[in-house]
Structures are given as C-alpha cells and as structure tokens.
Chain A
Amino acid sequence: MADKDRQRALTTQLQTQFNAIPSELPHDRINALSIPAERLTETLAFLKHKAEPRFEMLFDLSAIDETERDGGLTVFYQLLSLSGNADLRLKVSLSAEAPVLPSVCTVWSAANWYERELYDMFGIHIDGHPDLRRILMPEYWEGHPLRKAHPNRATEMPPYQLPEARYRSIMESYRAEDYHEPGMSNEEMILNIGPTHPGTHGLLRLVVRLLGEEIRDVKPDIGFHHRGAEKMAERQTYHSYIPYTDRIDYLAGVQNELPYVLAVEQLAGITVPPRAQVIRVMLCELCRVASHLVWVASYAHDTGALAPPFYAFREREYLYDVMELITGGRMHPSFFRIGGVALDLPEGWHEAVQGFLKRMPAAIDEYQALLPNNPILRGRTRGIGVLSIAEAIDWGVSGPNLRACGLEWDLRKRRPYSGYEHYDFEIPTATEGDALARTEVRLEEMRQSLRIVEQAMQNMPAGPVLSAEARYAFPRKEATLQDIETLIHHFIAVSRGMRFPAGESLFVTEAPKGMNGYFVVSDGSENPYRLRIRTPSFPHIQALALLARGHLLADLIPILGSLDYVLADIDR
C-alpha cells in the first residue's frame, strides 16, 4: 500500500513540476506518464537524482512508430529504481516528420547507444548527442527500418543497387591506413580487432587505440549480427514469433521465450497451470547452466587455456541430451507456449535430469580448479575490468556482472515470477567487481541453478501443461478430430493467429546474461504492433571502453570474455 501511495505522490509531483500527463495504467501495471520533449532532460535528471524513490537505471529506451495508429512517434524511457524496486515509463510524443529529441547522455551514460539506435531505427535526430551515427545498420543504409513505412521483407523492396562510385566511397571509410582520430598522438596506434577474430566470439569489431600495448580507448562496432528481430515480430502472429526469440541469446534457449510469453500472458491476463510453471523454471535453469557452460569454455579459451573448453562442451552435450528428450530441440527448443508449454514431460525425464544433476557438481569443481583457482588465471584477471556499483547502474549493467560488483539484484528474488519464490536458492555476489569476481559469481550461479532444477524435479505437480483458456491457447490437437468447435478454433488460431487485447506489456526476467525484457505493444490484431527486446548484452558491451581503458591489450580479451555476451543478443 505504501508503494502505491509513493507512486501516487510521485505522479502528482511530476504532473505539477514537469507538466507530465499520466495515462491509464497499462497491462503491466507500470506507472506511465507522458512528458513534453522540452522538459525531458530535467525530468529524467530529477528522477535519477532527487525523486522518491530514485530511478537509478535507464533500463530501456526505444520508440513506437504510431503512424498506422494515427499518430507520430512515441519514444519511451523505461526507468528502473533498484533502491525502491519500482518501474516508471515515460513517453514523449514526436511528430513523424523530422523528429528531434534532446539527448539524455548527460544523465545516463547508457543512453548513448540507445539514442543511436533510435536514430538508426526511427530516424529521430538526437540533439546534443556526442556521436550520432547509425549503430546496427550499416552507415550507408537508406531508410530507418523500424518505421512502419519501411518494408518488412526484402521482397517488398526494389532490387538492391550499389553503384561503383558509391561502393568506393563506402569502402574508403574503412581504410585504416591513414586513420587518425582527433587528439591522437603519433606514438599511438589504431588496432582493428574483428569483425572476425579469435577473441571476439562472433562478429564484433573493436577499434582499439593503443599506446604500446596499453589501451587508450576502445570503440566497439556492432550490428554485424543484426537480423531485425524486432521488425520481424510485426509480421508474425503472437505464437509464431516464439521460435524467433530463441535466437536472440542463442546460447540460452528457452530463457528468451520466457520473458516473451510472460509479457503476452500479462497482456491477455492468462494464468499458467502450476505444472507448466515448474517445467518452465526447470528448463530455464538448465538453459542458464548451458549458457554459463559456453561462457566457461569461451572465457577459458580467451585466457589461452586449451582444455576447459572441451570439458565444458562435454557437459553441455549431456545437458542438451536432456533438453532434446524433453523438448525435442537442443539449442532452440521453441518449447514454451502462451499459456504453458508445448508438451508434457516425456517418459524417463526424471532419470535423465537426475543423471545430469549427478554429473554436474564434480564438473563444476573441475572448472573451479581450472579457472578461478588457477594461480595464473587469478593473477591475470584480478583487478582488471573493475566496475563499481554506481558505474554499473549508470551503464545499465545487470545480471552476474552487476552482482559481481556487490549488489544483490536478481529478479528471481526481487520480483519472483513463474513461482521462483517457492524455491530455495542463494544469489551469489562478490564485491571486487573485476573479471575474477565475475568468474566466481558465474560458477556459483551454476551450482545454485542446479539446486533449483533439483527442487523443480522433486516437486513437479500434476495437471495440465497448457492454459485451458480457449481464446489464447491452442486447443488440444487430439480433440480437433473429435469435435468441430475445436477444429475451427485450431484452424483459426494456427492459420490466422489469435487476437490479443490492445495495450502494452513489459516483462523482465533474469536471463543468464542479465535482465532480459520484452515489451509488447498490441493494437488488438494477430501480430504485435511493436515488439521491443531489451537485451542484457547491449549495455554490457557499451561499457567495454570504461572497463578496458588503461589496461593492456592482453587484458582486453579476458575483460570482454568476463562480460559474457552473445552477438545475437547485442544486435538482435
């Protein structure tokens, strides 16, 4: 109750001081207010520094093109208060023609890339932005993909043309030979790492400014893995988009499906049967282990250790055997459905999960011995890439990277979803905030995840695995051959898609890499009007320069690896 009063007081304050206009409470029950663009910066600064509670983190920043709904552009700022465990959504309406928005980089360092993305995707000019360039699309791309006017499929576009002269001018911009940044001394050197390089785990380009081997600056260049996942959602039905979510953080499988289905369920007010919830939790924690296993492998490889990658992939293979038995898929199970999960657990699942649980503790001890307990690795990773809590929050860092700085912020504990409140587990933290601390936190997280899996396995309730609500859940396939009603429902639901209520709904879960949020905007049709995916890796890589400056080139790759990112998770 006190929370509600506080929320009301804040709304009144924003109304009187900053001309904010409160709107109807959306489906996710997050307080949403519209503010005029000219008061934006001061409002955000007030919310960050003075409001009660203080909203320390800029969780997400993107826009909705309302032109198909008779509007202009709506930019939304998702703010998160870690101290008050509260959310706030601020909206700014802009005209669709030549929209201009003031930059809030001065308030939050993390806003930089998000604002570049706004410019790239919606063509919004950000006034006062220090480095306004495209971020995901190539510099020479024409149009702004997330505008409704931009075609959704290549077949709707004219054949791609790249005249010779244009090609030459594009290529010229990649010449590194005489490349000199302003303020760079003659002793410094620009080293281009990537997009393909053994240390970047994917297509990531780092432009590093070096003095000898000392890093002066790092400029990450992302977008090589951009597939337009958010745009694709706009022409998929709510159900047929589920497989796409798997491919966002492709190492974490169902961990991507969870926030999406939870957001849609929240939108439609669906309750998920208990058995489905426990299955979801069990699979999610298995996927967390899978994701951390790949991290063990790649991180060990980053430091030059050759054996741990093979050991970690071996255990991951056993894990995928279990996943395959239960879901039929390995990396991309596409197993969750809106309202539950696709199938009930198969025969023999209990033994399979148990077998895996039995194997893992010894394996994790082995990684412990090979990584954080190895004196060479300790020496190499202690004190590098240090992040303080304040910096981490300012840069939007979450997940194990935030917990390694000493803040026990885990949504599974702070805002339990899918029944996480019923499980007994701990949130590992560290205080140093360096690469070694992140290593230790992740290894301990694997142990805790196994505890959750074990509890889920022991206390698996009986009952249905999919919501019986006919409006938003697929009818049982078996029944379609028995009665015509179900057959019609099935036909409509699968071929045309189900209509979901108009509104907006954000759901954030604790994914292996950090806070993963799906923001679904519905206009009442079969496809999402706009789907915003806030991934944890995006802000983590943005903070790389902060972590790497002043260290040696040999530290860059372990620092990068200790952040645990996936390129598909950054670029979407």
Chain B
Amino acid sequence: MNVAQWLLTLASLGLVLLGLVLVAAFMIYGERRILALLQDRLGPNRAGPFGLLQPVADILKLISKENFVPPFADRMVYTIAPVIVPLTVLLSFAVVPVSEDWWLADLNIALLYVLALSSLRVYGLILGGWSSNSKYPLLGGLRSAAQMISYELPMGLALVGVVMLSGSFSLKEIVAAQTLPFIVLQPLGFIIFLVCGIAETNRLPFDLPEAENELAAGYNTEYGGIQFAFFYLGEYLGILLIAALVTLLFLGGWHGPWLPGVVWFALKTLALIFLFFWLRTSLPRLRYDQLMDFGWKVMLPAALLNLLMTAGLGLFWMEN
C-alpha cells in the first residue's frame, strides 16, 4: 500500500469513529426524549432546537470536569478500565457491514471476533469495580461477572443456528444467505440472542451491575468526568452494536424492498434501539441469582434445543 492508501484508510477510520461516537451521543439524547414521552414528561428541550444540542452540552460538561482518581483506588487499573469498554465495542464495529457495498473489514471469522471482544468488554466493568477499591463498585463488578457467565453461553449457542443455516461466520455472507430473514427460520434463536444482548449491554431489566437503587451507581460509582463518559459511551455503543448484530443476523440486514439497503439497515437497527428504550421504561430489574437461574436453566437448554432442531431439520432437508 502506498501513502495515499494509508491516509485514506486512516481518514475513513477516523470518520467511522467520529460517526459512531456521534450516533451514541444522539442515542442518549433520543433515549432521554423517548423515555420522557413514555413517562408523560418533556425531556431535555432547552439546549438548541428541541434540545438537540443536549449531547454536545453533556460531552462538554464531562470533558471539562476534573479527572479525579480517588486516593484509595488502584491507579493504573482504574484508569485503564473505562477505556476497555468503548474500545472493545468500537473494535467490534470493524466487521459490521452497513450495506452491500459499505463495510470496513469482511473477516471470515467475524462472528467469533465479535463474541471474543464482547467477552473482553466485561473486564472493563469488573476491573473498574475492583480497582475503585470501594464496596458498591466491587459488588457491581462482581455482579457483572456473574451476569457474563450466565448469558455468554446461550448467546454463543444461539448464533450457531445462524451459522449452520448460512454456512459462514462472515456477517456479509450471513446477510447474503438471508433470502428469508432468519427470524422466520430461527425464532427461538432470535429471542435468545436478543435477551442475551440486553444482558450483554447491562440494560434494564438486566442492569444489575449498575442497579442504582441498591448499589448507588454500581461499578462506576467512583468514576466521574471523562472516565465516566467512557463507560457511558461504551454502554450506548453496545446497544448500537447489539441492535446492528440482531439486524444482520436475524432481520435480513439491508435486505428490503424499494428503499436503499443502508436505509433498511438503519430503520431495523433504530427499531431495535427503540425496543431497548421501551424495555427500560417498562420493566423492573431482576435479581442476579434470578438472572443466573434464567440463563442456565431456561436460556441454555432452549439454545441447545434450538441447535438440535436446526441441525436435525437441516439434516432432513439435505437428505431429501
């Protein structure tokens, strides 16, 4: 590659990064307005027209705050932990294609890569909670570990069905294989993956690591300013990632009549994001032992059943 190509790659990377951060920021704004509407309130409407500049104001406020490390915290880990969360999610986006022609990297192990990064992400929460050296964050961090081992397994197993049907780990090829969206062929897998995805992003009803009513702010209690913003950014990028993955894996990605592929992709992703917000306003939180019970006793058997059925039906199909 020559210099021009390198520059082009770097520029496009920067553009994607900026775009994702902006999307996450406006998701926060969108969430606050949507939650407000669902709760008979107005939500932020002061900064700019319809409050559209609210995310800018929020970011400015968080950036301008003092970067404070509590004296009792493990300084190095405490500083690294908040970076892990958005970093792993951003890296996952590298393999997420947006349409037939728009994609950054098309790995043949894309799905495994995404799963691996999502497992790494939880380190941000655990280490953040642990390094704070304070009781509420510690409990929050431990809970996120308990949560991860409960949803990771069914999540991975739910994906195997998709891989079996499409015969590929590449997200582009999985979408290409969906002449019929996989939600029709894999309804159980879709539900399992979506529920695990909500758990993965620590959103209600699975926001146990944060659980403000018990744990003040859970794993990020001691964090403030830009470090807190990183956790926050990671959470919303996580939602975006899960919504995009569900769209790609089960909803046929960019497939759809009349409109261009990108628009279809965006619409489906936004609808899923709305679902996340809607759930947040409607549901109470589970207890962590209930989540573990649910993960191991309901989701895991269901995922295995789904796998068996897919394999069995597939075999039957091929025989005939």
Closest B residue to A199 by beta carbon equals B213
Determine the distance from Cα of A197 to Cα of B211 in the docked complex, in whole angstroms. Answer: 12
Does A106 make an interface contact (CB < 8 A)?
no
Rounded to whole Å, the gap between the CB of B45 and the closest CB of chain A is 16
* A300 and B284 within 8 A (CB): yes
User: B-facing mask of A203-219, CB < 8 A → 1, else 0?
Assistant: 00000000001000000
* A314 neighbours in B (Cβ, 8 Å): 40
Determine the distance from Cα of A307 to Cα of B38 in the docked complex, in whole angstroms. Answer: 8
* A305 neighbours in B (Cβ, 8 Å): 282-285
* A304 and B288 within 8 A (CB): no
Does B12 make an interface contact (CB < 8 A)?
no
Which of B139, B207, B290 touches A553 (beta carbons < 8 Å)?
Answer: B139
* B207 neighbours in A (Cβ, 8 Å): 304
Interface residues of B in 129-149 (CB under 8 A from A): 135-136, 139
Rounded to whole Å, the gap between the CB of B242 and the closest CB of chain A is 20
Interface residues of A in 340-382 (CB under 8 A from B): 370, 374, 376-377, 379-380
Closest B residue to A212 by beta carbon equals B142
* B287 and A554 within 8 A (CB): yes
Determine the distance from Cα of A300 to Cα of B286 in the docked complex, in whole angstroms. Answer: 13
Does A149 make an interface contact (CB < 8 A)?
no
* A198 and B212 within 8 A (CB): yes
Q: Which of A303, A304, A305, A311 lies at the interface centre, i.e. has the most chain B CB atoms within 10 A of its CB?
A: A304
* A376 and B205 within 8 A (CB): yes
Does A549 make an interface contact (CB < 8 A)?
no
Does A390 make an interface contact (CB < 8 A)?
no
* B33 neighbours in A (Cβ, 8 Å): none
* A377 and B287 within 8 A (CB): no
Q: Which of A189, A307, A370, A554 lies at the interface centre, i.e. has the most chain B CB atoms within 10 A of its CB?
A: A554
Closest A residue to B288 by beta carbon equals A554
- Given known A-B contacts A198-B212, A304-B204, A304-B213, A374 and B290 have beta carbons under 8 A apart: no
Which of A198, A306, A552 touches B287 (beta carbons < 8 Å)?
Answer: A552
Rounded to whole Å, the gap between the CB of A76 and the closest CB of chain B is 40
Rounded to whole Å, the gap between the CB of A532 and the closest CB of chain B is 35
* B40 and A374 within 8 A (CB): no
Rounded to whole Å, the gap between the CB of B81 and the closest CB of chain A is 21
Q: How large is the interface on B (under 10, 10 to 19, 20 to 34, 35 or more residues)?
A: 20 to 34
* B41 and A310 within 8 A (CB): yes
Rounded to whole Å, the gap between the CB of B254 and the closest CB of chain A is 33
* A307 and B287 within 8 A (CB): no
Which of B41, B214, B284 touches A374 (beta carbons < 8 Å)?
Answer: B284
* A554 and B284 within 8 A (CB): no
* B40 neighbours in A (Cβ, 8 Å): 310-311, 314
* B214 and A557 within 8 A (CB): yes
Does B216 make an interface contact (CB < 8 A)?
yes
Rounded to whole Å, the gap between the CB of A426 and the closest CB of chain B is 28
Determine the distance from Cα of A370 to Cα of B38 in the docked complex, in whole angstroms. Answer: 14
Closest B residue to A374 by beta carbon equals B284
Determine the distance from Cα of A314 to Cα of B212 in the docked complex, in whole angstroms. Answer: 23
Determine the distance from Cα of A213 to Cα of B138 in the docked complex, in whole angstroms. Answer: 11
Which of A192, A306, A376 touches B286 (beta carbons < 8 Å)?
Answer: A376
* B111 neighbours in A (Cβ, 8 Å): none
Does A265 make an interface contact (CB < 8 A)?
no
* B213 and A555 within 8 A (CB): no
* B213 and A302 within 8 A (CB): yes
Interface residues of A in 293-316 (CB under 8 A from B): 300-307, 310-311, 314
* A556 neighbours in B (Cβ, 8 Å): 214
Rounded to whole Å, the gap between the CB of A309 and the closest CB of chain B is 8
Determine the distance from Cα of A379 to Cα of B287 in the docked complex, in whole angstroms. Answer: 9
* B214 and A376 within 8 A (CB): no
* B216 and A197 within 8 A (CB): yes
Determine the distance from Cα of A191 to Cα of B214 in the docked complex, in whole angstroms. Answer: 11
Determine the distance from Cα of A314 to Cα of B39 in the docked complex, in whole angstroms. Answer: 10
Does B300 make an interface contact (CB < 8 A)?
no
Rounded to whole Å, the gap between the CB of B235 and the closest CB of chain A is 16
Which of B136, B208, B280, B284 touches A377 (beta carbons < 8 Å)?
Answer: B284
Rounded to whole Å, the gap between the CB of A500 and the closest CB of chain B is 46
* B288 and A376 within 8 A (CB): no
Rounded to whole Å, the gap between the CB of B250 and the closest CB of chain A is 24
* B212 neighbours in A (Cβ, 8 Å): 198, 304
* B39 and A376 within 8 A (CB): no
* B286 and A552 within 8 A (CB): no
* A213 neighbours in B (Cβ, 8 Å): 139, 288
Q: A213-B139, A552-B289, A557-B213 are in contact. List 11 more A-B contacts (CB 8 A).
A: A198-B213, A302-B213, A303-B285, A304-B213, A306-B35, A306-B39, A374-B284, A376-B283, A380-B285, A554-B287, A554-B288
25 A-B contact pairs sorted by A residue (CB < 8 Å): A191-B139, A213-B139, A300-B284, A303-B284, A303-B285, A304-B204, A304-B211, A304-B284, A305-B284, A305-B285, A306-B35, A306-B39, A306-B204, A307-B38, A310-B41, A311-B39, A311-B40, A376-B205, A376-B285, A376-B286, A380-B284, A380-B286, A552-B288, A554-B208, A557-B213
Q: Which residues of B contact A (CB under 8 A)?
A: 35, 38-41, 135-136, 139, 204-205, 207-208, 211-214, 216, 280-290
What are the 6 tightest A-B residue pairs by CB atom distance, in nearest-first order?
A304-B285, A303-B284, A310-B39, A305-B284, A199-B213, A307-B281
